[in-house]
Homo-oligomer: A and B are copies of this chain.
Amino acid sequence: MFSELVIPSRTIMTPGPVEAHPNVLRVMSSTILGQFDPAFLTIMDDVKEMIKVPFGTKNEQSFAIDGTSRSGLEAALIALIKPGDKVLIPVYGRFAYLLGEICERAKAEIKYLEKDWTSPFEQAEIIQAIDDFEPKIVAMVHGETANGQMQALDQIGAACRKRDIFFVVDMVATYGGVPIFVDDWCVDIAIGGTQKCVSVPSGMSLITYNDRVEKVLTSRYQKELGLSKMDRNENHISSNYLDLSQLQRYWNTERINHHTEATTMIYALHEGLRTMINEGIESVWARHKLNDEAIVAGIKAMGLGFFGNMGTKMPTVTPILIPEGADDGEAIRNMLLDVFGVEIASSFGDLKGKVWRIGNMGYSSRRENVLQVLGALESALIYYGATINKGEAVKAALKVYEV
């Protein structure tokens, strides 16, 4: 016999998935609607509109994909890439390699522009690499969760547009948490996450793209065989499930049958976005910034160091150097989870065992969570005998909130 689900209560201060907003959780127990029920179609239409707000876009094509964030990355890249196409991928963290992995499987010719992970690129460096490599597509990450650095995009986007290059940006970890201006920055396709700053459970990805991309998609559209034997197109996209040319025709008024939309996840997304929009997107950004300042102040006051350039750090992630006396950091991280019910993250690759990451995203980005994670981390470090400044962390954070 399998026992009933018992979900322990957690304070989740990782870079995702984070705590879902109570408004979101509440609607997830709502009953199901059929995928073409007019009541459901209205919800989908509202979601389309609301997705645009945190992206800072007027793009008509803005919708959700029924798959976790990387499904949106793959859908975006395979929409544009044909075998042999040149893709430039600037790398300043782990997730640029995910873009590379996807491009490799799509048989692109890839050029990695690599640097250390302590800061993002100067935009001019990337523009120089564009001129050297002359790619069809530049694909990059806006905010790298593994090392917590964030890339400025506006000049790169403008340079791509001028050269008629497609600019694809992974905004999974920044969408909703920091100011994003897809249209002003000349981003052709942007992908956002739900399980981070939107406070919705993992399982969907958000996408927006402009007319330049839509034109490509129109040329690659193939109505599927189960619906028509006539509309064959040799230029079709390699995947059926992640075919944006079909997905947009399901989300748009054409309503051409593709998958069966994930009803409950759409309810959740509706409420996650609506809650953000009601708070005011600028207020949401300001809340993340303030809580980030408090986290940084607390960690600093404890005497711990940070990984990477603080001037280009994402406000949604803080990478902390694991201090001496804490080994690889796992015992303390486990204690935080088991004993304090607080989750923080480790990191990837070379940073594994050297860096902890405190996330600051969505509904988890709350004052009480910030104070709780600082207090618990301090207590765990003291318990394990690490040398820190005692009693300073929470005080320093409280001071930030006083201002």
Contacts and interface: CB of A to CB of B under 8 A. Distances in A.
Interface stretch (A155-163, A266-274, A377-385): A266-274
A201 interface: yes
A321 B17 CA distance: 48
A215 B193 CA distance: 34
Contacts of A71: 66-67, 241, 259
A350 to B, nearest CB: 11
Contact of A271 (B5, B195, B236, B263): B5
A402 interface: no
Interface string A290-303: 00000000000000
A74 B37 contact: no
A80 interface: no
B19 A34 contact: no
Nearest to A65: B67
Contacts of A263: 17, 195, 201-203
Contacts of A227: 348-349
Interface stretch (A94-102, A115-123, A181-189): A94-102
Nearest to A199: B32
A278 B2 CA distance: 9
Interface in A1-60: 1-2, 4-5, 7-10, 12, 14, 16-20, 25-35, 37, 39, 43, 46, 49-50
Nearest to A112: B225
A2 B274 contact: yes
B33 A8 contact: yes
A373 to B, nearest CB: 14
A389 to B, nearest CB: 29
Given A105-B240, A201-B264, A225-B98, A5 B17 contact: no
A259 to B, nearest CB: 4
A128 interface: no
A237 interface: yes
Interface centre among A17, A104, A261 (most CB of B within 10 A): A17
Interface string A217-247: 0000000111100000000111111100000
27 contacts: A2-B49, A5-B27, A5-B30, A5-B43, A5-B267, A12-B32, A17-B260, A19-B31, A20-B31, A20-B32, A34-B343, A35-B202, A66-B71, A66-B203, A68-B261, A69-B259, A97-B225, A98-B224, A98-B240, A105-B239, A195-B260, A238-B239, A239-B242, A241-B242, A242-B242, A262-B265, A264-B268
Given A12-B32, A66-B203, 11 more contacts: A5-B43, A5-B271, A20-B32, A25-B30, A28-B28, A29-B29, A68-B261, A97-B225, A195-B260, A202-B263, A203-B265
Interface of A: 1-2, 4-5, 7-10, 12, 14, 16-20, 25-35, 37, 39, 43, 46, 49-50, 66-71, 74, 94-98, 100-102, 104-106, 195, 201-203, 224-227, 236-242, 257-265, 267-268, 270-271, 273-274, 277-278, 337, 343, 348-349
